[in-house]
């Protein structure tokens, strides 16, 4: 069964895609001169890497990543709803057993 993503999932996806698109640019937003100089100094002072040079990581399929993120959010929402229903049922059962008011009220 294919479900439409929720508004929250769409908002998260949009934020994520925007962040990933700006990642290729230097910092995403133009840095102040002082901050830019600090970054350049930090890059110059970085120690030489130890050991073998690794190849670049494989490209990321952001469509698959976003599908997984939406699916995880939907699973979390279903789990939260089931736990809430279970908690309410337990509270109602306790109230009936003890004759007192429900703790959920």
The pLDDT tens digits for 15-62 are 877 777 766 654 445 556 777 777 776 666 766 778 899 999 999 999
Q: For the residues 77-88, what does the mean pLDDT come to?
A: 97
Axis crossing angle, helix 62-98 with helix 7-23, rounded to the nearest 10: 140
Band the pLDDT of 99: cuts 50, 70, 90: low
Q: What is the pLDDT of residue 21?
A: 72
**The tokens of 74 are what?**
């939907």
- Say what percent of the chain tops pLDDT 70: 70
**The tokens of 65 are what?**
């990543």
User: Locate tokens 């049922």: which residue?
Assistant: 89
Q: How far is CA 76 from CA 1, 54, 83, in A?
A: 17, 36, 10
Residues with Cβ < 8 Å from 44, sequence gap 6 or more?
none
| Stronger pLDDT, 50 or 67, i.e. the higher one | 67
**The tokens of 36 are what?**
């830019």
Helix (H, G, I), strand (E, B) or coil at 1: coil
How many CB atoms lie under 10 A from the CB of residue 9? 19
Q: Is the pLDDT of residue 79 over 80?
A: yes
Distance CA 5, CA 3 (A): 6
């Amino acid at each position: 069964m294919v479900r439409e993503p929720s508004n929250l999932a769409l908002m998260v996806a949009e934020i994520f895609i925007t962040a990933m698109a700006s990642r290729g640019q230097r910092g995403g937003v133009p840095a102040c001169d002082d901050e830019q100089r600090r970054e350049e100094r930090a890059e110059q002072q970085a120690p030489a890497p130890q050991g073998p040079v690794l190849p670049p990581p494989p490209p990321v399929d952001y469509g698959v990543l976003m599908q997984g993120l939406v699916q995880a959010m939907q699973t979390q929402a279903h789990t939260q709803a089931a736990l809430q229903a279970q908690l309410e049922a337990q509270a109602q059962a306790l109230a009936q057993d003890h004759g007192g008011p429900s703790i959920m009220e």
